[in-house]
Chains A and B, each alone.
Chain A
Amino acid sequence: MRKAATRKQRRMMIVGAGFASFALVVGLTLFALEDGINVFYGPTEVVEKVVEPGQKFRLGGLVEEGSVTKSGATTTFRVTDMKSSVQVAYTGILPDLFREGQGVVTQGMLDDAGLFTADEVLAKHDENYLPAEAVEAMKRAGTWKDTAEGEKATQ
């Protein structure tokens, strides 16, 4: 019986050690790849890292309030993270969720003047789920901006 118990313990040790070392390998790999795994960069990262003009990447952030202008099929707006912002131009159909204050992820490249020309705009949905009627009621009561979206902006 004693021998069987130690054999079990040995198996436990092997499995435990194997798993721990594998988890360490994966952890270090992911840590090293951190930048590559991010599906987008924020405006501050773009400003700090000085992305080369002509290099394709994804830019994510909130659509700045009051920055959306449309001329024909082309929409220009600013993507902001409340610290810095980048001017974006996009020609095409915008997703349903696109509006001012909404999170978006755009794909494209910067030109020499710092204008980001997007060939794809994706709307990022946030984690808040609220009934439409409740939001209507809150808007009527004038408490809407102080609740869900206000929380998001302060994060």
Chain B
Amino acid sequence: MKIANAVLPFAVGGFVILTGIGVYLGLFNSPSDYQQGDTVRIMYIHVPAAYLGVMIYGVIAGSSLSLLIWKHPLAELIARASAPVGLVFTFLCLVTGSLWGKPMWGTWWVWDARLTSMLILLFLYAGYIALSNAFDEPGRGNKPAAILALVGVVNLPIIKFSVDWWNTLHQPASIIRMDGPTIAMEMLTPLFYMLGGFTCFYLMILVIRLRSEIAASKLRIAMMSGAMASNPEADNQQSASEPGRREMEKVGG
């Protein structure tokens, strides 16, 4: 948590500065595309949102793996704190893509492999959030949710390579490809600023959400021990709360 607190000011600063430069360059100081005209500027939101949607899912999957195998207490919190952020960015990616698709392709939506696999990612996020909150007892949903997160990892390479494996309406990769980016430098620069800015935004939100998750679990434990102090008959439950308290100290420290 000390690391997280140290990261926060950099994340906030990075988000404000990089996104500020990115938005300025993207909207006012970058050329319009030879085919798409000004519609190309949607890319400066669409691509970072897609990248974050996929990247955050990778973070959740990595955390789930370490939760299942090493039972790391922070892993669970990181995964829970990240999921809604990833959901929002995946949704943003689908919406901006749709807004771009109507004027450029001539359709809001088409069931091609890239769009469909991205939609599945959105449902995976929703399923993960629902499953991890499906139990009254806090923490019980973590394990099934972690398994779901790992199952969903197969979708990530499918998203990335869908445009190569099948005929899709979505264009092939422009940035990460064997022969280098096919985006002109003047457009690539604002895009990279936006990618950096969005990543900082995720880090910022992650730290804030981690703090509140930890505060919530401290509060829960405090309430539990408070209830026990006033009710001595609940002595047999004391032992159940012990691991929870230890976990809290571990995370909080």
Contact = CB atoms under 8 A, between A and B. Distances in A.
A123 B31 contact: no
A11 B68 contact: yes
Nearest to A128: B182
Contact of A131 (B153, B158, B184): B184
Given A12-B69, A122-B105, A131-B31, A39 B150 contact: no
A123 B167 contact: no
A60 B166 CA distance: 12
A74 to B, nearest CB: 17
Interface stretch (A18-26, A47-55, A64-72, A109-117): A18-26
Contacts of B174: 127-129
B184 A125 contact: no
Nearest to A134: B184
Nearest to B111: A39
A62 interface: no
A121 B106 contact: yes
Interface residues of A, number: 40
Given A39-B112, A96-B103, A131 B183 contact: no
B69 A8 contact: yes
Interface stretch (B35-43, B48-56, B226-234): B35-43
B251 interface: no
Interface in B33-81: 33-37, 40, 43, 65, 68-70
B129 interface: no
A128 B105 CA distance: 15
A42 interface: yes
Contact of B65 (A15, A37, A105): A15
Would you call the interface of chain B mostly helix, strand, loop, or mixed?
Answer: loop
Nearest to B162: A37
Nearest to B39: A96
Given A39-B111, A39-B167, A60-B167, A130 B33 contact: yes
B169 A129 contact: no
B157 to A, nearest CB: 9
Contacts, number: 111
Interface string B9-33: 0000000000000000000001111
A107 to B, nearest CB: 10
A133 B167 contact: no
Given A129-B184, A134-B184, A123 B34 contact: no
B240 interface: no
A6 interface: no
Contact of A129 (B153, B177, B182): B182
Interface in B95-113: 103-107, 110-113
A132 B32 contact: yes
Contact of B110 (A12, A39, A127): A39
Nearest to A138: B34
A15 B70 CA distance: 12
Interface in A28-80: 30, 34, 37-42, 60
Contacts of B113: 37, 39
Given A8-B70, A39-B111, A132-B31, A19 B166 contact: no
B171 interface: yes
Given A11-B69, A132-B34, A134-B31, A22 B151 contact: yes
A128 B35 CA distance: 9
A131 B166 contact: no
5 contacts: A8-B70, A95-B106, A124-B171, A128-B174, A131-B34
